[in-house]
Structure 1
Amino acid sequence: MKKIRYAVVGAGWISQEAFMPGVSQTENSNISAIVSGSIDKARMLADFHTVPHVYSYEQYDEMLAADVCDAVYVALPNSMHADFTIRAARAGKHILVEKPLATSLEDGTAMVAAAEENGVFLVTAYRLHNEQGTVDVLERIRAGEIGDPRIFSAVFSFMPDPDNHRLKAGHWGGPLQDVGVYCLNAVRHVFGEEPVEVTAVRSHGDNNPMFSDVEESIAVTLSFPHGRLAQFIASFGANSKDCYTVVGTKGSLTLDPAFRFETPTTLQRRNDDSFAFETFMHTDHFAGQVSYFSDCIVNGTLPEPDGGEGLADMRALLAIEKAAETGQAQKIDTPPRPSHPDRSMVRAFPTTKKRLLL
């Protein structure tokens, strides 16, 4: 079996905790290089994960020019996504880039164009598109199990360390971009449509210096075609919680937990005459995501969560920000997506405890 070789660009927490351990669980992927701002730490990770090549950020173009990888995983602060993605595309490398795709529509559009012009795949890292519980909810809704889906409600909160780059406005940090994007992406596929208008309110907390640069919490209301409504709250100032509920004309579905990779998704189904729980097998989300992307590369199949998927969320994220800043409702104009996550994209791999955190 052909294995797709990945260069990990940015060896921070998400790479150490989730991506690198996940790749080791797959059969069609491996890690061939690490690009990092700390060569010493990168070499320790390379030794632990048996990765043959280590490069500094200054050596990125050298790495791209060498035959050491087929694809890159970009796990850098949001403000750096565009530069490292475009350079990889021009070098003929496929790209898996963490969300949000970029910090502006101009950069996001340039990333998509660079991938298309150079004949490579650009995928936004929506790992839940390959997770069985998430896809099961979408399949149930499409099958009419809860009738016409009318209402969506979600909460995603956790408390980051005070020195985390997610708290820096210069990197387009904040709870909306970091965890609110999960709620936004979920409802777009739950309804199978794009939002058309948004209002939002943000809070900077109770004089907490952690939130001098970005908001503590943001509450969002989205209008969709056919009168459907969605609300979510994303927060860096409350205890860990990740869940969403979809209420239709004949019942409701709740995933709780819904978004985090550390816990299995659990589904609550409620109809007029029935109530049931189902906990899905806890799988490695990152292994599933990488395995799916590698399958697409090997088979020449267009991946579903492409750069356009990232742009769709970006249009809404930017409109949400403007709505919160101005106190005025903002219109959103995004073309319908050609496809949505389905069962053919699910990849199930066991979790692993083999990881090195530095």
Structure 2
Amino acid sequence: MALEDAFTDFTRRDWEHESVEGTVRLAVIGIGGFARQRALPAIAEGDNCETTVLVTNSPDEVADVAETYDVPHVIDYDGFFAGERTDAYDGIYVAAPNAFHGDYATAAAAFGKHVLCEKPLEITVERARKVVDACADAGVTLMTAYRLQTEPTVRRTRELVREGVIGDVVQVHGGFSNPLLEHATPDTWRLDPELAGGGALVDLGVYPLNTTRFLLDCELTGVYATTHSRGEPFDAVEEQIAFQLEFETGATASCTASLNAHARSALELIGTDGMIDIESPFGGVVPQEMVVESGDVRMEYTGPPVDEVREEFDYFGYCVLTGTHPEPDGEDGLADLQAIEAAFESADTDCRVELE
């Protein structure tokens, strides 16, 4: 690949190989801030999905949401588990706290419904494996909601890596920080280890973790991590984490995440013949700004922002409607949880943890 060709038709959906008819009707489970502010608008603006059911603990409190997005059915969690309105949806999108992901996903699979589940897939590898097995046994699509895998900048970067534009990747630097308490109270479920399964790593660090794995497309062999918390309200989970990932190719990734620092994200890949720097890849709306150096050639690209959440839902809908297996599937979610558990073990023991 010539470097000057890398930015041609930058926002193309290379995963879209055929046209589709109809939409996937979704039951959205957990009507919190992300669902209201990002997911529901993205579904409404997209082409391949529509919201037909809202599942919430307080149906009366989301009447305005149902009206805004013209959602015909609102049910509570007991109703969902009892099989209410299963005729009104084809799949579910799970945006509830992490520890409940498995309950909703396995119930949906039993109803023969497809599953798009927020990351992490569950809070332990063992519990996530039950989700993967339930969906496989039911023959339904399971996709872990790694929206960056559908986002143009990341997909173009993977093409550059695969084509050897920067040579062999040697080092990756990734970081994601966000001041959680500026938009949440100290009693948020994200700081409860029983509900979240961790702190900075599972909430933010999973982005550079998964994105690096996606870009390098090779197996992890080892993890080393350190964590730090400065007291309440971060005393039960890690406030910040630094972790190093080792890959079978010899590449390493140095990553950081913090729930109590200035909002910032960055991703840089350094190869034997060049480098790629992506501006703000993890913050929600990627600005489509990147710098690529290949040998003596340097190019900068700036394009129109793309709503990665809309891309994610359209991709999920496309996979269901065409019978395409999604790249960020349940096994992808399992692999990240294996790395997450290894990172926590490393932080506890102050030792490198080897992955099989």
- Give your verdict on TM over 0.5: yes
**Counterpart contact for 1:64–1:88, Cα < 8 Å:** no
In structure 1, the residue matched to 2:168 is: 148
**Counterpart contact for 1:266–1:280, Cα < 8 Å:** yes
**Counterpart contact for 2:56–2:75, Cα < 8 Å:** yes
Q: TM-score, normalised by structure 1?
A: 0.90
Shift of 1:191: 1.8
1:129 aligns with 2:156: no
In structure 1, the residue matched to 2:194 is: 170
**Counterpart contact for 1:258–1:266, Cα < 8 Å:** no
Quick one: which of 43, 68, 79 aligns to 1:59?
79
Secondary structure of the residue that 1:281 maps to in structure 2? coil
Which stretches in structure 2 are left out of the alignment for 5+ residues? 1-20
In structure 2, the residue matched to 1:108 is: 128
Counterpart mapping for 1:327-346 below 5 A:
327-333=350-356
Cα distance in structure 2, aligned partners of 1:183 and 1:266: 17
Secondary structure of the residue that 2:257 maps to in structure 1? strand
Out of 239-248 and 187-196, give the one that drifted further. 187-196
Counterpart mapping for 1:207-286 below 5 A:
208-286=231-309
Runs of 4+ deviating beyond 6 Å: none
**Counterpart contact for 2:286–2:308, Cα < 8 Å:** no
Secondary structure of the residue that 1:24 maps to in structure 2? helix
% identity of equivalent residues? 34
In structure 2, the residue matched to 1:302 is: 325
Pair 165,173 (structure 1): closer, same or farther in 2 beyond 3 Å: farther
Secondary structure of the residue that 2:254 maps to in structure 1? strand
In structure 1, the residue matched to 2:180 is: 160
In structure 2, the residue matched to 1:184 is: 209
Out of 313-322 and 188-197, give the one that drifted further. 188-197
In structure 2, the residue matched to 1:348 is: none
Pair 265,242 (structure 1): closer, same or farther in 2 beyond 3 Å: farther
Amino acid across the alignment from 2:188 = N
Shift of 1:147: 0.6
Cα distance in structure 1, aligned partners of 2:286 and 2:154: 13
**Counterpart contact for 1:96–1:125, Cα < 8 Å:** yes
Shift of 1:88: 0.5
1:318 aligns with 2:346: no
In structure 2, the residue matched to 1:120 is: 140
**Counterpart contact for 1:35–1:57, Cα < 8 Å:** yes
Secondary structure of the residue that 2:243 maps to in structure 1? strand
Cα distance in structure 1, aligned partners of 2:150 and 2:249: 28
Cα distance in structure 2, aligned partners of 1:322 and 1:170: 17
Cα distance in structure 2, aligned partners of 1:223 and 1:110: 27
In structure 2, the residue matched to 1:39 is: 59
Cα distance in structure 2, aligned partners of 1:210 and 1:269: 40
* C-alpha distance after superposition, 1:182-213 (max 9, x if no partner): 111111122211211111111113xx412111
**Counterpart contact for 1:160–1:236, Cα < 8 Å:** yes
Which stretches in structure 1 are left out of the alignment for 5+ residues? 334-358
Shift of 1:270: 2.4
In structure 2, the residue matched to 1:356 is: none
In structure 1, the residue matched to 2:44 is: 24
Cα distance in structure 1, aligned partners of 2:305 and 2:335: 29
Shift of 1:164: 2.5
Cα distance in structure 1, aligned partners of 2:93 and 2:334: 18
1:13 aligns with 2:13: no
Amino acid across the alignment from 1:160 = L
**Counterpart contact for 2:149–2:211, Cα < 8 Å:** no
Pair 283,8 (structure 1): closer, same or farther in 2 beyond 3 Å: same
Amino acid across the alignment from 2:22 = K
**Counterpart contact for 2:266–2:282, Cα < 8 Å:** yes
Q: TM-score, normalised by structure 2?
A: 0.90
Cα distance in structure 2, aligned partners of 1:36 and 1:265: 35
Cα distance in structure 2, aligned partners of 1:59 and 1:173: 29
In structure 2, the residue matched to 1:73 is: 93
In structure 2, the residue matched to 1:338 is: none
